[in-house]
Chain A
Amino acid sequence: MTHDAMIDEWYPVGLFSQLDTNARKTALMGRPIEVAVEAEGHARVTSGDGRSLPVCVRYGHVWSSLGKPQKDLFAIPEADQPGRTLVDVGVIRVRCSPLRAVENFLDIAHFPFVHTDILGAEPHTEVQDYKVEVRQDADEVWATQVKFYQPQAAKSASGGITTEYMYRVPAPTCCVLYKTCPPRPGEWDVITLFVQPLAEDLCDVWPWMALFDDATPMTDLIHFQQTIFLQDRSILENQIPRLLPLDPGMEIPTRADLTSVAYRRWLKRHNYTYGAQLVAQ
């Protein structure tokens, strides 16, 4: 384990569909990079010093790394399931730690206060116990049996329902959310949060979705998700400290924060500390 354990991970650096031969100038973990898609359709990522970086294209995005990824990008089998609408939501820049953006995505207790009348509403604020584990085979954090009352769980939902969720953290700055799918009982809608760490306290968030919803226009799906993330941004940019504390000495986690604690423990275990605060203050 080295200090920069996160350096060898894959990170999203752009939407494949929006790239062309004109390089998109962006950054990865404090270093300038350029991302382009060449005429023959290959994605190319170059570091500021002219080095060609590892590349893969998956889930609508171009992924890259400053180091040497030891594994392929994590799998999302549902992405290839027929009948799903794949939604490239776009990018939202947030002035916070990339790890904070993931932690917030794992949190349901804020729904009634931050996404009022959409993902939650008072007085339905109680967070029932749910299960959290680190799946050893894949080395991922999973939270299951997460249930929450929602006035409008999805664009395709009308009226309030109790929605069930599963959360999965397959990489330090990525999270996959599975959520009951109103038009198709038995299936799960997939909503992901891919976070590009620009710096320890600045990130580009790339939500992406694979839904069973052929009724709602694409622009409405994108809008719905953007509205949600803009609400989250107003929180994320106003949390103290800006980095994610791995020592909760200045905080008071409760059972509702079980996923957050499991995520932070997992980060700590792997020495994934880019964007983390190590000593509480």
Chain B
Amino acid sequence: MTILGDLDALSFVPWIRRHAAKLGLSQAISHTSSQRIELEVAGPVDLIDMMELGCSLGPFDVWVETIHRTPVDGGGDQVRDRPS
């Protein structure tokens, strides 16, 4: 999952971890910068949808422009791009 936008807030990464934990999803964040956060999320597709939806709003000091999803080998995820 790639999150793009104005993400220049320290609050976002812990926020993402908390939200994933609430949904029972395992996550590994592989890249963070002020415009892009990349993470791998594993779990049922309905729950990954919920993860994407939560992140698209995120904490108030963050603006998420788009979230791209690409399936990872062995993952049950499907592509569901939702440009905003």
Q: Which secondary structure dominates where chain B touches chain A?
A: helix
A247 to B59, Cβ gap below 8 A? yes
Closest 10 CB pairs of A and B: A278-B60, A253-B53, A247-B59, A255-B49, A247-B60, A248-B57, A254-B50, A261-B53, A248-B54, A246-B60
Of chain B, the residue at the smallest CB distance from A264 is: B57
Do B63 and A254 touch across chains, with their CB atoms under 8 A apart?
Answer: no
- Which of B59, B60, B84 gathers most chain A CB within 10 Å? B60
Q: Considering only CB atoms, which chain A residue lies closest to B47 in the complex?
A: A254
The answer, yes or no, to whether A232 is at the interface (CB within 8 Å) is no
B66 to chain A, nearest CB (A): 11
A residues near B19, Cβ cutoff 8 Å: 249
Count of residues in B whose CB is under 8 Å from the partner chain: 18
Number of inter-chain CB pairs below 8 Å = 48
- Contact partners of B63 in chain A: CB under 8 A: 268-269
Known: A134-B84, A249-B18, A269-B63. A254 touches B57 (CB 8 A): no
For the A-B complex with A254-B49, A257-B53, A268-B60 known, give 17 more contacts whose Cβ atoms are closer than 8 Å.
Answer: A134-B84, A246-B60, A247-B58, A247-B59, A248-B54, A248-B57, A249-B15, A249-B18, A253-B53, A253-B57, A254-B53, A255-B46, A255-B49, A265-B64, A265-B84, A268-B57, A269-B63
Binding site for B on A (CB under 8 A): 134, 246-249, 252-255, 257-258, 261-262, 264-265, 268-269, 278-280
Please report whether the interface of chain A is mostly helix, strand, loop or mixed according to DSSP.
Answer: helix
What are 22 inter-chain pairs, A to B, with CB distance below 8 A? A246-B60, A247-B57, A247-B58, A247-B59, A249-B15, A252-B22, A252-B23, A252-B50, A253-B53, A254-B50, A258-B53, A261-B53, A261-B56, A262-B84, A264-B57, A265-B56, A265-B57, A265-B64, A268-B60, A268-B63, A278-B60, A279-B60
Q: Which residues of B pack against A, CB within 8 Å?
A: 15, 18-19, 22-23, 46, 49-50, 53-54, 56-60, 63-64, 84
Check B53 against A255 for contact (C-beta < 8 Å): yes
Q: Which residues of A contact B18 (CB under 8 A)?
A: 249
Bound Cα distance A189, B50 (Å): 32
